Amino acid sequence: MSATLPIATNLYFDTHFHRQGVKLLPNEFYTTKEDMVLVTVLGSCVAACIQDRTAGIGGMNHFMLPDDGADVGHAAADSMRYGAYAMEVLINELIKAGGRRDRFEAKVFGGAAVLAGMTTMNIGDRNSAFVRRYLATENIRIIAEDLQGSHPRKVAYLPRTGQVMVKKLRLQQDPSVAERERALASQDANARAERLAKARERVELFGLKPGGGNAAGLRAGANAGAAAGTPAAAAPARARIELFGPTGGRPLNQDKTVEET
């Protein structure tokens, strides 16, 4: 993997899983063929876990916003905030390490609305819709997911086997999640305002006045396209997700994928 990419570096020995682990922070990713555990904590962010079980390789990313970041992202570490770049990096690095796109399977997590009063920002819903749409476009099957809701999640992924265990957290259990969500909402509002301003500039360049009939038509078309871009796809068959905690993992029934602790 290239040293210029934001690869997670927080390595440790995980006493629960009895193996080497990596803690992924926001905007990071990690791929490996080793028998390791990859762990991250998610609020409105999303983590995609992708595996090629034949090649025995898998990886995880952690992105914060669904946009591609084309107008505002420069360095790789900044671009990793955005789903399109984070997904592209993870997939490309898995292919470089010997994985094959046609064998990839994905499990996706996160996208919660964890702060009261911030549902209008809709970051978690947008992240969730984005990752489903992106993987469908790339023909990568989602075999398990635990998205949206109102609780932060701790996710542990074993890339060698593809096993994932998830624990829902109360917000008080990890105050850093609340701080991160407030900062993220502010960043997202500023970034969206910047993109809107640039879009208005482009409209004026083409001789269309904001508020005029043509501009209104463009906005209506954009809104319709955005709505059409979030398909209500039929739910695929889901793999089993397990709990993890002090007493160890145990299988979950199909109606409940995580535990509130």
Q: Which fold has domain 10-174+234-251?
A: 60s Ribosomal Protein L30; Chain: A; (3.30.1330)
Spatial CB neighbours of 242, under 8 Å, sequence gap ≥ 6: 163, 164, 165, 166, 249, 250, 251, 252
For the segment 7-16, the average pLDDT, to the nearest whole number, is 96
In angstroms, the CA 3 to CA 76 distance is 11
Q: Quick one: pLDDT at residue 115?
A: 77
* DSSP 8-state code for residue 120: T
Asked whether residue 234 carries a pLDDT value surpassing 70, the answer given is no
**Range(s) for CATH 3.30.1330.200 in the chain?**
10-174+234-251
What are the helix (H) ranges across the chain? 76-79, 83-96, 123-137, 175-205, 213-228
136-193 confidence digits (pLDDT tens): 999 999 999 999 998 899 999 999 999 999 999 876 555 666 666 666 666 655 555 5
Distance of CA 7 to the CA centre of its chain: 16
| pLDDT band of 114, cuts 50, 70, 90 | confident
User: What mean pLDDT, rounded, does the chain reach?
Assistant: 76
Q: What is the pTM of this model?
A: 0.69
What pLDDT does 24 receive? 97
Average pLDDT over residues 35-48: 96
Closest CA to 229 of 133, 108, 88: 133
Chain position carrying tokens 């440790």: 12
> Which of the four pLDDT bands, split at 50, 70 and 90, describes residue 52?
very high
pLDDT in tens, 195-210: 455 545 544 554 545 4
Q: Residue 252: its pLDDT value, please?
A: 37
Q: CB count, 10 Å around CB of 13?
A: 9
222 vs 16, which has greater pLDDT? 16
How much is the pLDDT for 80? 81
Residues 238 and 231: their CA atoms lie apart, in Å, by 18
Q: What digits encode the pLDDT tens for the residues 117-139?
A: 555 568 999 999 999 999 999 99
For residues 105-124, give the mean pLDDT.
82
Q: What does the pLDDT average to over 88-102?
A: 97
Local confidence band at 79 (pLDDT 50, 70, 90 cut-offs): confident
Taking each continuous run of H as one helix and of E as one strand, the counts in the chain are: 5, 12
